[in-house]
Chain A
Amino acid sequence: MSCRSRPERWLRILLLAGGVLVAPAAWAAPRVILPFVADTWREFSLSARRPMVVVFSTTDCTHCPAVIDNLAATIRASHSSLRLVVVVMDGAGQEQALRGDSHYRKANALYAFDGDALALRFRVNPDWRGVTPYVALIPVVGATHFYAGAPPRDSLQALLRIPSGH
């Protein structure tokens, strides 16, 4: 399990909060692959000021690109402030490849697991056995919903209708 210094932890919280405060003027590719560590999932929930869709992927997940593409297209078409975050579970050390992947470029933020994948998975959802894409719909208020594969259209539309900051 990774241990982080307090300033680094606060920096990541500020990063996350900043991502919420500054609405993207245009769809912009993430240029930094952030480490998804033990506290990252909790920070997603605590600091979210606008709803998020988090897609957990792997580099050999052949279903993931289409799900990411469809989510990105739906979010863009809705002009929503919904954030699309992609977490590549086996992406550590593959920053160049991840940045070059056109699917990941559609995310607002890109993370890679940094630590014991089993423990990180458990933090997200103890019932998750590693299926990818694993999609979490995180509203600002209310429970997070998890889906193996593409989320149902109704669930995504419901999240898209929630105004930011609500």
Chain B
Amino acid sequence: MRALIAGLVLAWTTALAAHEGHGGEDPKAGAKAGAHAKAGLSIGAAVAPDGLLWLVGLNSDGGLFVQSSKDLGATWNARQLLDIGRDKVAADGENRPKIAFGPNHSVVISYTQPLAKPYTGEIRMLSSDDSGMSFHAPVTVHRDRQVITHRFESLAFDRSGVLHTIWIDKRDQVAADLHESARSNKNGYAGAAIYRNESRDGGRSFGPDIKVADHSCECCRIALAATPAGGIAALWRHVFAPNIRDHAFAVLGEEPKAPVRASFDEWKLDACPHHGPGLAVSQRGGYHAIWFGDKAGRAAVRYGRLAGDGQPQGEAQELPDPRAEHADVASAGRQVAIAWRSYDGTRTHLRAWVSADDGEQFVQRELASSNEENDHPRMIATPERILVVWRTAKDIHVLPISP
């Protein structure tokens, strides 16, 4: 017992010295006490033209893999590890690898590579022209190569086969800071900016970086949805003056001079919500949207309808779960499904709100639960069905949702 106490006191003294900074420099000290590193669970998923469900994520060693299933997740083909050289991949929550299928057997996989400097990154892309049998070496998507934020990319092919990539970019904030520093003006540039580009050869080369909007939020995913005309619409968390973190909408290639405000929670916040929106087309025109926000002191995930130009239609509704977080939405014809996760202190529940009449009425479903660490739910819509894909530490859950 004495030995134990003596040992503890010695350990305490030593550790305290390091802990409070009175000990000698020991660059390896953190290795003993540090938290255990682990690969992120965040995945991207999509259904290929031949009906195979594909997902992309990190294995336990941090390697980027793809995997496919011909029976919607009942069985999976062997994981295919992708050669990304020395790239690191962000795969944590809102930042996740993505996969998309285009025409002529093209497949693209994107990810954000964090750079050495804090809060920076670049968006990288692998492309395949043989339906994912092999991939070309990764390339950087954007032309701007400053060591700054280029993160939280989203991507989608439009109906004509053009690949659209959209991301959060801080080049304008950096430029504004330099300019203001030179003029001793400290007003600052609120948030970041949304940029995009296009690829007409399946992700092998890219057009110029195009600014979509100034003053986006810095840390939330961007939602994309197909427009009825075959284009791509985007919804992102924006910083409306002075610091209101509501949402903005634009159809890519048709951006208005000022982004259309799509939500009016009036959430005044100088912080990072880490909680981006979801968007899906509505059969009767316009869009279904979900987002997280604080409205009059009430934090909730809300569902709202948007007109074709992104203007809100009617009152937004709170999801019927006060602990709902990281919801996603998808539609297939008149079917609409919203899935979210909800933690009760012991287990995470995967729940859904499902509509058979294009969002007029919803019923709640319990889809799954887990006591394992888990990712945000990802929704996939095909013309026939809606799927939710949910990765937990040990499993990939693929759950068809029908009204």
Identify the A interface with B (CB < 8 A). 2, 7, 10-11, 14-15, 18-19, 22, 24-25, 28-36, 58-64, 90-99, 101, 108-109, 111-119, 122, 126-127, 129-134, 148-150
Contact = CB atoms under 8 A, between A and B. Distances in A.
A63 B270 contact: yes
Given A32-B15, A93-B34, A130 B271 contact: no
Interface stretch (B24-32, B205-213, B226-234, B246-254): B24-32
Nearest to A149: B271
B29 A31 contact: yes
Given A11-B15, A32-B18, A132-B272, A99 B30 contact: yes
Contacts of A119: 343, 345, 373
Interface in B128-184: 149, 151
Nearest to A64: B272
A92 B29 contact: no
B374 A93 contact: no
Given A15-B12, A28-B20, 19 more contacts: A11-B8, A22-B16, A29-B21, A32-B33, A35-B36, A36-B35, A58-B274, A59-B114, A60-B151, A61-B219, A62-B192, A63-B270, A94-B37, A97-B118, A130-B273, A131-B272, A133-B272, A149-B269, A149-B270
A72 to B, nearest CB: 13
Among the interface residues B12, B116, B269, B294, which one has the most CB atoms of the partner chain A within 10 A? Answer: B12
Nearest to B38: A92
A115 B35 CA distance: 8
Nearest to B271: A149
Contacts of A134: 271
Nearest to B267: A148
B20 to A, nearest CB: 6
20 contacts: A7-B4, A14-B8, A19-B16, A19-B20, A24-B21, A29-B21, A31-B18, A32-B34, A34-B35, A60-B218, A61-B271, A62-B119, A93-B37, A95-B34, A112-B34, A116-B372, A118-B373, A129-B292, A134-B271, A148-B294
A15 B14 CA distance: 10
B19 interface: yes
Interface string B100-115: 0000000000000010
A34 B219 CA distance: 25
Interface size class of B (residues with CB under 8 A): 35 or more
A34 B149 CA distance: 28
Interface string B269-307: 111111100000000000000001010000100000000
B275 A130 contact: yes
A100 B23 CA distance: 17
Contact of A126 (B26, B292, B323): B323
A154 to B, nearest CB: 17
B205 to A, nearest CB: 28
Name which of A2, A24, A131 has the most chain B CB atoms within 10 A of its CB: A131
A35 B271 contact: no
Contacts of B21: 24, 28-31
Given A32-B33, A93-B36, A109 B270 contact: no
A115 B36 CA distance: 8
A163 B280 CA distance: 55
A122 B373 CA distance: 13
Contact of A62 (B30, B93, B272): B272
Nearest to B243: A149
Contact of A96 (B30, B35, B151, B372): B30
Contacts of A61: 219, 271-272, 274
> Which of B18, B29, B30 has the most chain A CB atoms closer than 10 A to its own CB?
B30
B26 A58 contact: no
Given A60-B219, A150-B270, A118 B15 contact: no
A113 B35 contact: yes
B34 A33 contact: yes
Contacts of A122: 343, 345
B80 interface: no
B348 A118 contact: yes
Contacts of B35: 33-36, 91-93, 111-114
B8 A10 contact: yes
B155 to A, nearest CB: 19
B194 to A, nearest CB: 15
Contacts of B323: 126
